[in-house]
């Protein structure tokens, strides 16, 4: 059981049978009366956000969340199939549940899948993924203006800005938290 005084950014809890996470948090202590906890909450199933104020003494249940290591297998056009790496059970997510992760999701990528009451509700990628460049504009020698970049298309269809000397066919590392190029990968 959580109390209002436990609220902080990133806390996950349950209200009316739905899992929520605190996106923004502000503590307000008026001159007289109870302390207030103003929060912006995000529904972890639907993604909707709203503001809610709690008073000191309010209580709520801990969300029944689990996380399992899953390997992405394939997309059948509507659903994304993942396999539990320890039990080999398969779970399916729709495009909305996968979210922006689909832009960097490649077959055989090991991810963490979040479950609420044993139902999958979302997936998070590892911090870095290595992807091959499918399309890149050629580099003109002498084009070395500092900070210059060019767009390339990766094997997943994601477009990212890279230094001009990077070419098609090369493997690069992408930071999944920012969606930006990190470095070239040898081999």
Distances (CA, A) of 38 to 22, 44, 88, 139: 10, 19, 42, 52
Provide the whole-model pTM.
0.73
User: Which CATH number is 66-124 given?
Assistant: 2.40.50.140
32-66 residues labelled b (16+ CB within 10 A) or e (exposed): eeeebbebebbebeeeeeeeeebeeeeebeebebe
Q: Nearest-CA neighbor of 29 among 3, 59, 4, 61?
A: 4
Average pLDDT per block of 10 residues along the chain, 187 residues long: 88 89 90 88 87 90 91 92 93 87 92 90 91 86 69 93 90 93 88
Fold classification of 128-185 (topology level): OB fold (Dihydrolipoamide Acetyltransferase, E2P) (2.40.50)
- Do domains 66-124 and 128-185 share one topology? The answer is yes
């Amino acid at each position: 059981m959580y109390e209002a005084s436990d609220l902080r950014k990133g806390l996950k809890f349950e209200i009316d049978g739905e899992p929520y996470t605190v996106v923004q948090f502000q503590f307000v202590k008026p001159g007289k009366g109870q302390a207030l906890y103003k929060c912006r909450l995000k529904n972890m199933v639907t993604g909707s956000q709203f503001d809610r104020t709690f008073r000191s003494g309010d209580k709520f249940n801990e969300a029944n969340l689990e996380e399992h290591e899953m390997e992405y297998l394939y997309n059948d056009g509507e659903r994304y199939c993942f396999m539990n790496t320890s039990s080999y059970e398969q779970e399916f997510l729709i495009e909305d549940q996968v979210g922006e992760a689909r832009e960097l999701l490649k077959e055989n990528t090991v991810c963490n899948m979040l479950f609420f009451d044993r139902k999958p509700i979302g997936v998070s990628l590892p911090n870095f993924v290595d992807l091959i460049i499918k399309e890149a504009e050629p580099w003109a020698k002498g084009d070395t203006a500092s900070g210059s970049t060019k767009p390339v298309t990766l094997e997943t269809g994601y477009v990212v800005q890279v230094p001009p000397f990077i070419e098609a066919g090369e493997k690069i590392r992408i930071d999944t938290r920012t969606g930006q190029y990190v470095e070239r990968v040898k081999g």
